[in-house]
A and B are shown apart, each in its own frame.
Chain A
Amino acid sequence: MKFTTTINGLAREIDCDPGANLYDVLRALGLKGVKQGCDNEGTCGACTVLIDGVPTLACITPAPKVAGHEVTTIEALGTPDKPHLIQREFVDAGAIQCGFCSPGMILSTKALLDRTTSPSQAEIAEALSGNLCRCTGYVKIFDAVKNAAAAMRKEASDGK
């Protein structure tokens, strides 16, 4: 079946199997930052993308659901030379080890910090509740989110 959607700011015409999930469609477009960490059953969060800014698991999302909506994957955030502020804080805090969970963690963080740049510990825990990390033990990830929030607050006040 065919439909149009916006992926990372670009209008795209998708032609896929009617039963395709969003994960397969994004990977086929070369967006390899979308990861599969479980049996495509919604338990790991490695496949997290944003649909209209809302964290969504690509593996259990029917691809046609994004018709007319905006999808954001980690590829839209920064580049190795010019990382996004959240990516920079994750690196600086040591919140990335193998990196497999990082795209999902960072997108869940982005959705949170787009809502509030002063999240409480409980709000961070809720925002990241769907993202498993098998390396870091989460402490550094929480540090990175708090540092990114502080950096955003600073940017906002400097900009004033």
Chain B
Amino acid sequence: MIRAYHQPKRLDDALALLKQGALPVAGATGLYSTRKKIDAELCDITDLGLGKIEVTADAIHLGATVTLTQLIDADLPGEEGAFLKLVARHITARPMRNAITIGGNIAHAVFWADMPVALLALDASIEIARAGEAAVTVAIADALKGSAPWGNGALITKVVIPLKKGRRFGYERLSRTKNDYAYVTAAASMSVCDGKASDVRVVFGALQPRAFRATDIESDLEGKAISAESIAQAVQKAATDLPIAPNFRASVDYRRDVATALARRAIAQAAGQE
């Protein structure tokens, strides 16, 4: 049972409520689809002024309650901005995107979530606040490993996406219908200079409970000449060892085949080969 619904206007008031055990609610799309199972007080975080997008010379700063529609409609700089918009458009449909927040998409931590995959490819970091403590910044890669730094009174307040010249991105996703959850998601990013790849990121979503970087593939491609063959080889070498958790959606073998095909395509896009 939802015992109370708080709507604070100040971050400090919200953090105090979370410390007392209230659960944050942002777009509510994740929480309310299973609302009957909740037994807590809720604290709505959408009136705290965390819905702003700020662009500086070297980063895009997204408040935690920025919605996917806000991202799609915003004027965002660089390949990073274009990539964020593209990924946001992949997630469900317009009325849902009007509600889903970037913070909620990370914190909801369902295995199919798209934004964590994108944020790993972007080298993003998240800011976490807790009552009575200074805010901390955590790399998204660390935040997605082990126990989550949000929850238990901690709130994601901001997502920071660094702008790096020359980075390009690729994103591939297989789902039954366009609006459906992904069976597999693959993202990649890199800079290519004189035909050689650097800062390679290869990310998979929907294979494990949390999105993860395929560091084997990354190090295989890092610093090397990039071609369709080198991409196919690096992906193929890692294919049999890709950790894939069984789920109700499709068999592990099928998802392995899909994952390798999508990774090849995403890496080729990031390398400018497609």
The answer to whether B44 touches A64 (Cβ under 8 A) is yes
* CA–CA, A128 and B44, complex, Å: 28
| A33: interface (CB < 8 Å) | no
In the complex, the number of residue pairs spanning A and B with C-beta atoms less than 8 Å apart equals 77
> Which residue of B32, B92, B94 contacts A59 across the interface (Cβ within 8 Å)?
B32
The answer to whether B99 touches A57 (Cβ under 8 A) is yes
> Which residues of chain A (23-70) have a CB below 8 Å from chain B?
40-43, 45, 48, 54-57, 59-62, 64-65, 67
The answer to whether A19 touches B94 (Cβ under 8 A) is no
**Known contacts A19-B1, A129-B179, A61 near B96 by CB under 8 Å:** no
The answer to whether B95 touches A56 (Cβ under 8 A) is yes
Closest-by-CB residue of B relative to A128 is: B94
| A102: interface (CB < 8 Å) | no
| B74: interface (CB < 8 Å) | no
| A152: interface (CB < 8 Å) | no
Q: Distance (Å) between the CB of A138 and the closest chain B CB?
A: 13
The answer to whether B92 touches A130 (Cβ under 8 A) is yes
The answer to whether A62 touches B44 (Cβ under 8 A) is yes
The answer to whether B95 touches A65 (Cβ under 8 A) is no
Task: Give the chain A neighbours of B29 by CB distance below 8 A.
Answer: 42, 57, 60
Q: Please encode chain A, from 122 to 149, with 1 for each CB lying within 8 Å of some chain B CB and 0 for all others.
A: 0000111110000000000000000000
**Known contacts A18-B5, A19-B38, A56-B99, A61 near B94 by CB under 8 Å:** no
| B233: interface (CB < 8 Å) | no
Task: Give the chain B neighbours of A41 by CB distance below 8 A.
Answer: 33
The answer to whether A56 touches B33 (Cβ under 8 A) is no
The answer to whether B28 touches A40 (Cβ under 8 A) is no
| A21: interface (CB < 8 Å) | yes
Q: Distance (Å) between the CB of A54 and the closest chain B CB?
A: 5
Q: Please encode chain B, from 80 to 94, with 1 for each CB lying within 8 Å of some chain A CB and 0 for all others.
A: 000000000000111
Interface bin, chain A: 20 to 34
* CA–CA, A48 and B94, complex, Å: 11
Q: Please encode chain B, from 122 to 153, with 1 for each CB lying within 8 Å of some chain A CB and 0 for all others.
A: 00000000000000000000000000000000
| A10: interface (CB < 8 Å) | no
| A156: interface (CB < 8 Å) | no
Q: Distance (Å) between the CB of A48 and the closest chain B CB?
A: 6
Q: Please encode chain B, from 184 to 204, with 1 for each CB lying within 8 Å of some chain A CB and 0 for all others.
A: 000000000000000000000
| A1: interface (CB < 8 Å) | yes
* CA–CA, A64 and B47, complex, Å: 12
| B176: interface (CB < 8 Å) | no
| A108: interface (CB < 8 Å) | yes
> Which residue of B1, B44, B46, B95 contacts A57 across the interface (Cβ within 8 Å)?
B95
| B42: interface (CB < 8 Å) | yes
The answer to whether B25 touches A62 (Cβ under 8 A) is yes
Closest-by-CB residue of A relative to B98 is: A54
Task: Give the chain B neighbours of A43 by CB distance below 8 A.
Answer: 179
The answer to whether A60 touches B99 (Cβ under 8 A) is yes
| B35: interface (CB < 8 Å) | yes
| B4: interface (CB < 8 Å) | yes
What are 20 contact pairs spanning A and B, CB under 8 A? A18-B42, A19-B3, A19-B5, A19-B42, A42-B96, A45-B93, A55-B95, A55-B98, A56-B95, A60-B29, A60-B99, A62-B28, A62-B42, A64-B7, A127-B94, A128-B94, A129-B178, A129-B179, A130-B95, A130-B179
Residues of A within 8 A of B (CB): 1, 17-19, 21, 40-43, 45, 48, 54-57, 59-62, 64-65, 67, 108, 126-130
Nearest first, the 6 closest Cβ-Cβ pairs linking A and B are: A19-B2, A130-B93, A129-B93, A130-B95, A41-B33, A60-B32
